[in-house]
């Protein structure tokens, strides 16, 4: 298939390469020239605007940073909408507001194009190993059209519902992930303050009901004080902002989300927003007086 890929960062680059490994032709656009080099070396063609990428592709994937970035690369003056033909599909795979996802889908539909909102979970490792979980919103027929491409990227691929449903699901995923990370940080801080072996406490927790992928991955980084790898904490701020905006719109209380947002906000305020989420334990330790 003739594909396009816009956004070649820590997630997008390996995802685009995995699609190319599936034998598909690839056109790419990245804001930084260096970001396209590995794709071009693998056989992709680089273009100077998203519109030109769309002109050479039937299906265009986007993995940029936030809602405004997606609006710019899809609907902006040199966006996908100005280069794509009728019948083309845009597959939006970052985490953005479901309201924005629906608005973009509506704008594309007016030009005879389709869209799927298909955010992912699994992080950089999942992107590299093509083991992502993909949650999809949009028309069922369009989902079936794109499903073979999703299978180049992930293992768990679920059509949730209409436009925006994928983004709502991702918001729920991030809410559970981030609140669990806050809980893991508090549990490990309590263990340390109590004078017991924190690594052994985590081992026991991993063997019981408290076990989780969050405790496995982020909990180990908290114990090892390995805060330099993974996804920047500042990006999780965006995710929780989406969660809390949805809660506000629906008139529901999410107290754990609000507390976790304060921890993330504190990290960013201290200039540590580019560190891994596991660094949230520093905020808990500072509040409790526990020492690393």
**CATH 3.40.50.720 residue window(s) in the chain:** 2-162
List, in sequence order, every residue forming a beta bridge with 91; answer none if it has no partner.
61, 116
pLDDT of residue 35: 87
Its sign, for the CA torsion 36, 39, 40, 46, is negative
Q: Which fold has domain 2-162?
A: Rossmann fold (3.40.50)
Q: Are 10 and 65 in contact (CB under 8 A)?
A: no
Q: Are 75 and 104 in contact (CB under 8 A)?
A: yes
Exactly one of 2, 21, 155, 170 is catalytic; which is it? Answer: 170
Q: How many residues does the chain have?
A: 292
Task: Please say if the pLDDT value at position 123 is more than 80.
Answer: yes
| 170 in active site | yes
Give the C-alpha distances (Å, rounded to integers) separating 211 from 9, 115, 221, 285.
31, 37, 15, 22
pLDDT per residue over 39-72, tens digit each?
999 999 999 999 999 999 999 999 998 999 999 9
Examine the pLDDT at 120 and tell me if it is beyond 80.
yes
The predicted pLDDT at position 33 comes to 80
Alpha-helical segments (H) within 22-139: 33-41, 50-55, 67-75, 98-109, 123-129
Mean pLDDT over each residue of the chain, to the nearest integer? 95
Domain 168-288 has CATH 3.30.540.10: no
* Angstrom distance (rounded) from CA 4 to CA 21: 14
pLDDT tier, 230 (very low <50, low <70, confident <90, very high otherwise): confident
Q: Residues 245-255: pLDDT tens digits?
A: 999 999 999 99
- Is the model's pLDDT at 289 over the cut of 80? no
Q: How far is CA 194 from CA 42, 85, 206, 278, in A?
A: 53, 63, 19, 20
By CB atoms closer than 10 A (0-12, 13-18, 19+), residue 71 is middle
Q: Is the pLDDT of residue 287 over 90?
A: no
Domain span(s) for CATH 1.10.1040.10 in the chain: 168-288
Banded pLDDT at 290 (limits 50, 70, 90): low
- In this predicted structure, the answer to whether residue 105 has a pLDDT above a threshold of 70 is yes
* Cα–Cα dist 99/152, whole Å: 28
pLDDT above 70 as % of the chain:
99
Measured between alpha carbons, how far is 288 from 292 in angstroms, rounded to an integer? 11
Residue 42 to residue 4: CA distance in whole angstroms: 14
Angle (nearest 5°) at CA 27 between 23 and 31? 135
């Amino acid at each position: 298939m003739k594909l396009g890929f816009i956004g070649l960062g820590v997630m997008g680059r390996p995802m685009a390469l995995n699609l190319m490994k599936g034998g598909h032709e690839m056109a790419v656009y990245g804001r930084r020239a260096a970001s396209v080099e590995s794709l071009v070396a693998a056989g992709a063609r680089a273009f100077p605007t998203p519109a030109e990428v769309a002109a050479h592709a039937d299906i265009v994937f986007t993995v940029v940073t936030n809602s405004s970035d997606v609006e710019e690369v899809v609907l902006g003056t040199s966006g996908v909408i100005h280069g794509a033909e009728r019948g083309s599909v845009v597959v939006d795979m970052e985490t953005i507001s479901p309201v924005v996802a629906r608005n973009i889908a509506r704008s594309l539909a007016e030009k005879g194009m389709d869209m799927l909102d298909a955010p992912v979970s699994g992080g950089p490792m999942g992107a590299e190993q093509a083991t992502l979980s993909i949650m999809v919103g949009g028309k069922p027929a369009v989902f079936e059209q794109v499903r073979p491409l999703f299978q180049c990227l992930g293992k768990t691929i679920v059509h949730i519902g209409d436009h925006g449903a994928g983004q709502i699901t991702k918001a729920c995923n991030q809410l559970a992930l981030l609140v669990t990370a806050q809980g893991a940080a508090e549990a490990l801080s309590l263990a340390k303050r109590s004078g017991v072996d924190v690594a052994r406490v985590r081992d026991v927790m991993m063997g019981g009901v408290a076990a989780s992928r969050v405790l496995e991955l982020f909990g180990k980084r908290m114990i090892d004080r390995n805060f330099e790898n993974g996804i920047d904490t500042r990006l999780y701020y965006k995710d929780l902002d989406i969660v809390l905006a949805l809660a506000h719109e629906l008139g529901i209380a999410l107290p754990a989300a609000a507390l976790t947002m304060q921890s993330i906000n504190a990290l960013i305020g201290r200039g540590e927003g580019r560190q891994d989420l596991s660094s949230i334990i520093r905020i808990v330790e500072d509040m409790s007086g526990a020492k690393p």
